[in-house]
Amino acid sequence: MKKWSFVIPVVVLVAAVFLFLAIRGHWTSWQSNAVVQKTNDAYVTANQIPLSTRISGTVNAVPVEDYQAVKAGQPLILLDDSDYRAVVSEAQAAIAAAQAELVANQDAKRAADASVKSAEAAIAQATAAAQAAQDAISAAQAQATQAASEYRRVDALYRHQAATQAQYDQALAARDSTQAGLQAKRAQAVQAQAAIASGEAAKEAALQQRSGLNAKDNALQAQIAANKAQLVVAQVNLGYTTISAPADGRIGKLQVHPGQLVGAGVEVVDFVQHGAWIEANYQETQLKRIRVGDRADVHIDAYPSRTFHGYVAEIAPASGAATALLPPDNATGNFTKVVQRVPVKVVLDDESSANTLRPGLSAEVAIHTNEVEKAAASPAAGNQ
């Protein structure tokens, strides 16, 4: 009896150690290889959007009720838009005035172009007159030279009484006449040169005016562009007076009421978009066989007698702890190993059922991990 009383405790102790080591070494392997992976750390979630004001104003109307289902683009909050409409009208009037001034400037530019062309025509005419005057001067100079030479010859003959008085008077008159004609031609040449200078001055003035009008043109176009930008801003602000639903969904409790003055950035209502899904937080030891596309059965605590069906849409790229606002720093202090959880997104097959769920409801999820593996191992997949 003494012998057995010693052996039995030893056998029990050895068996306990063996079981401890076996469980420690193979428990996670058994868990990760399970065909159906379950978790009760799952919740219904959806896109929750706090709708806020972009501008300040007085609430004119709230055409919806608390928790109402709404469609995309449906007005939820209407602010007083009279001031913003006035700004839009002012910007439109400024654009119209600048455009009218631009049209008038185009007329002035065309008038300046006409002045330039007129001055160029006057210059061309004066240049032709100057050239004609030069030709006439050359001809008159030849006549004057010939008349002077004839006068000197007749004068010499007259002094020796070899020419009559009539011949002398005729030669003198011819000399004086050709000299007067030469002076007149020279005066015409001077007038032509003066006309050329006047035309060039007029052309220069017209070109300077045209340059100024071009600069004004650019300034007006820049002014119009600035006014159009102001109009866009005014129209955008006017659009902000209506806060609409960004998508199909439901609104939460309204936080503003007609007559209330609100500032920019004030939250007016919570919006929950249709298309809820399940966020199942699986332990890291359960992810070995889970793949995108795996079928899933979902039980919602609020509907205990109903089973929802869906599929794995995404697996988070990091654990919940790693993406937390304040992730744990395992490099400081004492370390205790904790099994991490990774969010898995499960989308329901029935969209209408998904729209009836409310974010925050608790759920239990069972993922059938062999669905994707079966599809990959099928003969059709092998032939491909």
- The pLDDT assigned to 381 comes to 47
C-alpha pair distances (Å), 96 with each of 93, 104, 214, 225, 326: 5, 12, 20, 12, 56
Please report which confidence band the pLDDT of residue 19 belongs to, taking 50, 70 and 90 as the band edges. Answer: low
**pLDDT over 80 at 260, yes or no:** yes
CB 230 within 8 A of CB 217: no
pLDDT bin (cut points 50, 70, 90) of residue 237 is very high
> Alpha-carbon distance 286 to 181, whole Å?
122
Q: Which residue has the higher pLDDT, 372 or 111?
A: 111
Higher model confidence: residue 362 or residue 379?
Answer: 362
CA angle 287, 291, 295 (to 5 degrees): 110
Q: Residue 223 pLDDT > 80, yes or no?
A: yes
* Per-residue pLDDT, 296: 94
pLDDT tens-place string over residues 372-383: 656 565 555 445
- Where residue 210 falls among pLDDT bands split at 50, 70, 90? confident
pLDDT attached to residue 188: 74
Mind listing the pLDDT tens digit for each residue in 132-156?
777 777 776 777 777 777 778 767 7
The whole-number pLDDT of residue 149 equals 78
Joined together, the tokens standing for residue 9 give 């405790």
Scored b (16 or more CB within 10 A) or e, 295-317 reads bbbbbbeeeeeeebebbbeeebe
Is residue 181 within 8 A of residue 144, CB to CB? The reply is yes
Instruction: Label residue 1 by pLDDT band (50, 70, 90).
Output: very low
Regarding predicted confidence, which is higher, 210 or 83? Answer: 83
- Which of 58-62, 101-105, 108-112, 211-215: highest mean pLDDT? 58-62
The residue whose two tokens read 């003494």 is: 2
- 63 has pLDDT over 80: yes
CB 279 within 8 A of CB 365: no
Give the N- to C-terminal CA distance of the chain in Å, as an integer.
71
Of the two residues 73 and 162, the one the predictor is more confident about is 73
Query: What is the tens place of the pLDDT at every residue in 164-187?
Result: 777 777 777 777 777 777 687 777
> In which region does residue 154 sit, left (phi positive, over 0), alpha (psi from -120 to 50) or beta (all else)?
alpha
Average pLDDT, rounded, for the chain: 82
Q: Helices 165-239 and 82-159: crossing angle, nearest 10°?
A: 170
Of residues 380 and 14, which shows the higher confidence score? 14
Q: What is the dihedral of CA 57, 62, 65, 70, to 10 degrees?
A: -90
User: Which range has the top average pLDDT, 148-157, 206-215, 249-258, 353-362?
Assistant: 249-258
Judge contact between 242 and 63, C-beta under 8 A.
no
- Which span out of 76-90, 314-328, 331-345 was modeled with the highest average pLDDT? 76-90
Tokens found for residue 278: 């399940």
pLDDT of residue 342: 93
Mean pLDDT of the region 84-107 = 91
For the record, the structure tokens of 170 come out as 């005729």
User: Confidence class of residue 311 from pLDDT cuts 50, 70 and 90?
Assistant: very high
Structure tokens at 263: 């500032």
> Domains plus CATH for the chain?
33-78+255-326+336-378 (2.40.30.170), 83-239 (1.10.287.620)
Say what the pLDDT of residue 167 is: 75
pLDDT in tens, 24-38: 544 455 566 778 889
The residue-averaged pLDDT of 46-72 equals 93
